[in-house]
């Protein structure tokens, strides 16, 4: 029982990382139908931002706190620039967005190798996040993973508040429900798309900061998570925030428990088979996007 509880908490922390990554994809993929394979490199950008700031600022705790907003801005600016330069011309061609952003991801990985080198680098966690909290005999919770869980939940809350109670959120929801009607109603859909991409990419940067607490980072850091994050979005329901939250934690716990009882490779295969079976039964995912489209 103790082992199961420990593995479940590890799975919840894995789910928290997946959730942070999937939040941005829920916006960009859900609203604009863009298959952004460069999303993983925005995660990498957030991770390297933490690494650079830790070199420049003394004190791991201070540098981590500074890295959160800075990584959001850096990754968000990269996403907005990508949308302005390339993606806005490809909105009706999702497969083209996949190919183009895949090429961009390869370029960004090579750029990271040129700047930081090919070997992985390690950041230093603040002292307060290096210990464990014992909640019962044989059951302990790592402070770093608790921090990641809190960061994920806080990001979900902030995104929910933005979408529900701000003018930008209302414009985003209007564009999601019916882009043509929103445009003729006076909403600058192009500007909304760019801001959505900025927020989604910025959340990927925040996920990159969280990943520095899990292990070393390198040019291919984002590619280790991007496929699982897309699965979270698809299974949860395209553009459905609550679906992504549920799916991220379920997949995280399922994968962690299976890895303990089998192996990492077998666990991934079982999870993938379970996802395929679920999508065969419910291809729209857990939740379906309600629109006002007449089509």
Among the listed residues 206, 198, 189, the one whose alpha carbon sits nearest the alpha carbon of residue 67? 206
| Cα(19)–Cα(71) distance, integer angstroms | 17
pLDDT digits (tens, 9 = 90+) for 113-128: 999 998 999 988 888 8
Please measure the distance between the N-terminal and C-terminal CA atoms of the chain and give it in whole angstroms.
Answer: 51
Residue in the structure block whose two tokens are 């006076």: 186
Residue 114 neighbours by CB distance under 10 Å = 10
Residue in the structure block whose two tokens are 């993973």: 145
| Cα(97)–Cα(34) distance, integer angstroms | 6
**What's the whole-number mean pLDDT along residues 216-237?**
87
pLDDT in the model for residue 72? 95
Q: How confident is the model at residue 218 (pLDDT cuts 50, 70, 90)?
A: very high
| Cα(26)–Cα(10) distance, integer angstroms | 24
| Cα(127)–Cα(181) distance, integer angstroms | 52
| Cα(228)–Cα(47) distance, integer angstroms | 18
Task: Match domain 2-281 to its CATH number in 3.40.50, 3.30.450, 1.20.81, 1.10.3470.
Answer: 1.10.3470
Q: Are 28 and 242 in contact (CB under 8 A)?
A: no
Residue in the structure block whose two tokens are 């083209």: 96
pLDDT in the model for residue 289? 59
**What's the whole-number mean pLDDT along residues 39-59?**
91
| Cα(25)–Cα(265) distance, integer angstroms | 25
pLDDT digits (tens, 9 = 90+) for 259-286: 877 887 888 888 888 888 988 888 887 8
The DSSP symbol for 90 reads: -
pLDDT in the model for residue 279? 86
Q: How confident is the model at residue 294 (pLDDT cuts 50, 70, 90)?
A: very low
**What's the whole-number mean pLDDT along residues 204-212?**
93
Q: What is the helix (H) or strand (E) element at residue 263, kind and residue range?
A: none
**φ and ψ at 213, to 5 degrees?**
-85, -10
- Ordered by start, the domain boundaries in the chain are 2-281
**φ and ψ at 196, to 5 degrees?**
-65, -40
**106: pLDDT strictly greater than 90:** yes
Q: How confident is the model at residue 138 (pLDDT cuts 50, 70, 90)?
A: low
pLDDT in the model for residue 1? 63
Q: How confident is the model at residue 30 (pLDDT cuts 50, 70, 90)?
A: low
């Amino acid at each position: 029982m103790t082992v199961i509880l420990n593995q479940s908490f590890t799975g919840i922390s894995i789910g928290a990382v997946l959730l942070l990554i999937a939040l941005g994809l829920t916006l960009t993929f859900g609203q604009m139908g863009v298959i952004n394979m460069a999303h993983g490199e925005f995660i990498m950008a957030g991770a390297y931002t933490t690494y650079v700031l830790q070199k420049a600022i003394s004190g791991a705790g201070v540098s981590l706190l500074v890295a959160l907003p800075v990584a959001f801005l850096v990754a968000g600016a990269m996403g907005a620039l990508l949308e302005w330069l390339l993606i806005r011309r490809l909105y009706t061609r999702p497969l083209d967005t996949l190919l183009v952003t895949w090429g961009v991801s390869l370029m960004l990985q090579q750029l990271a190798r040129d700047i930081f080198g090919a070997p992985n680098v390690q950041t230093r966690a603040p002292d307060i996040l290096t210990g464990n909290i014992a909640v019962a005999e044989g059951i302990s919770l790592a402070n770093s993973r608790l921090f990641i869980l809190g960061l994920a939940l806080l990001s979900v809350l902030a995104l929910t508040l933005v979408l529900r109670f701000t003018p930008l959120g209302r414009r985003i929801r209007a564009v999601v429900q019916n882009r043509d009607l929103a445009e003729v109603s006076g909403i600058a859909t192009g500007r909304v798309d760019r801001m959505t991409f900025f927020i989604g990419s910025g959340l990927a940067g925040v996920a990159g900061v969280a990943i520095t607490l899990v292990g070393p980072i390198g040019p291919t850091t984002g590619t280790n998570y991007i496929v699982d994050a897309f699965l979270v979005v698809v299974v949860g329901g395209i553009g459905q925030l609550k679906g992504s939250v549920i799916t991220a934690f379920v997949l995280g716990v399922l994968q962690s428990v299976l890895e303990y009882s089998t192996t990492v490779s077998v666990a991934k295969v079982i999870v993938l088979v379970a996802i395929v079976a679920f999508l065969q039964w419910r291809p729209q995912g857990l939740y379906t996007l309600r629109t006002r489209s007449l089509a």
